[in-house]
Structure 1
Amino acid sequence: MEEPVESLSFEAALKQLETIVSRLESGDTPLQDAIDLYERGDRLRSLCAERLDTAQARIEAIRLDPAGNPAGTRPFAAG
């Protein structure tokens, strides 16, 4: 029985996702197995994206004063 996706670390989820992609790309997987793998891969992708979004929200950028000295932090803004 496979471990529930929600309980995996980011690294474990990413590794499983890479394995699934490799298996699907090989073309040797029976149709029902490919469908099952695709569904698990989609759940893994969602988990990884969620964990990355959470990590990104926690990153802070250092603010500098006019002289270039650290003057505090502000939330990271992607863009």
Structure 2
Amino acid sequence: MKEEVENIKFEEALEKLEQTVRKIESGQLTLDETIEAFTKGVKLYNHCLRMLNEAEGKIKMIVEKENGKYEEIDFTI
């Protein structure tokens, strides 16, 4: 499953995570199926979080300095 998750794009991983949550919340799964779905959901969540953290590191802000020139700086929260 790890290799499956690492090769999918963010949007696809997020959609699969949402589907997994809906399955769990439906109450239609057996205990074993719920545990398997939960495990899959955690892997998808971690994959999405990792991708978001990587994207955040790539985002830059352009800031106007006092002298009227612009400077590119790293974006931080």
Regarding TM over 0.5, the answer is yes
Figure out how many residues of one structure are paired with residues of the other and give that number.
75
Query: Aligned equivalents of 1:5 and 1:62: distance in 2?
Result: 34
**Aligned partner of 2:76: which letter?**
A
1:70 deviation in Å? 5.0
| TM-score calculated relative to the size of structure 2 | 0.89
- Shift in alpha-carbon separation, 1:18–1:65, aligned structure 2, 3 A: same
| TM-score calculated relative to the size of structure 1 | 0.87
Deviations 1:6-56 (A, max 9, x none): 111111100000000001111111110110000010000000000000001
SS at match of 1:73: strand
> Where does residue 64 of structure 1 map in the other structure?
64
Provide the aligned C-alpha RMSD in A: 1.5
Runs of 4+ in 1 over 6 A off after TM superposition: none
> Where does residue 33 of structure 1 map in the other structure?
33
- For the pair 1:43 / 2:43, whether they are aligned, the reply is yes
Structure 2 gap segments, 5+ residues each:
none
Please tell me whether the aligned partners of residues 63 and 73 of structure 1 are also in contact (alpha carbons under 8 angstroms): yes
